Amino acid sequence: MMRLYAQTASGALFALRTLFDHSGRSIAGVMSIELALILPALALCIICVADLGLGIYRKMQVQSAAQAGAEYAAVHGYDQNGTTNAILAATSYSGVSAAPQPQLYCGCASATGVVAAACGSICASGSAAGQFVQASASATYQTVLAYPLLPKSFALTAQSTVRIK
């Protein structure tokens, strides 16, 4: 009787060892299943982050194009065609346009920006109104995937203003 009990106990121990054995052979299937479950979610996250990064990069390109137009006006004075060409040539992104066209206007600098004023007038600070050029750039970014609660496309705009006189 004792011998039968010993065989049964050793058989149970063997079954428990086999159940909790962590050798590579017993968990290889589990790892494959985990990978199959996680991989699509991971791939979707990578695509979403890349899409968001590309959208931010496109916005930076639009901002740089507007800044390049203002820099051109600061160096060369107001030249609508030259400023427009500087905006378009500032980036390799073909979707950028110089819209609205660069504008020349007079105004007075204030803490909140430039207040429109008549050319030659005197500002509240006592200085003469200056000439300003406003360069604008715009583009549209289309997302790679359609996201819930977000539009499929975004309008990207930027403006840069510089005093030339």
Q: For 129-150, how does the pLDDT look when each residue is reduced to its tens digit (9 = 90+)? A: 888 999 999 999 999 888 888 8
The secondary structure of residue 20, as a DSSP letter, is T
Distance CA 110, CA 60 (A): 27
Is-contact 65 92, C-beta < 8 A?
no
Q: Across the chain, what does the average pLDDT equal? A: 85
Question: Which pLDDT score, from 0 to 100, does residue 24 have?
Answer: 56
pTM of the shown model = 0.72
Mean pLDDT of 72-89: 92
Percentage of the chain exceeding pLDDT 70:
83
Give the whole-angstrom CA distance, residue 109 versus residue 130: 8
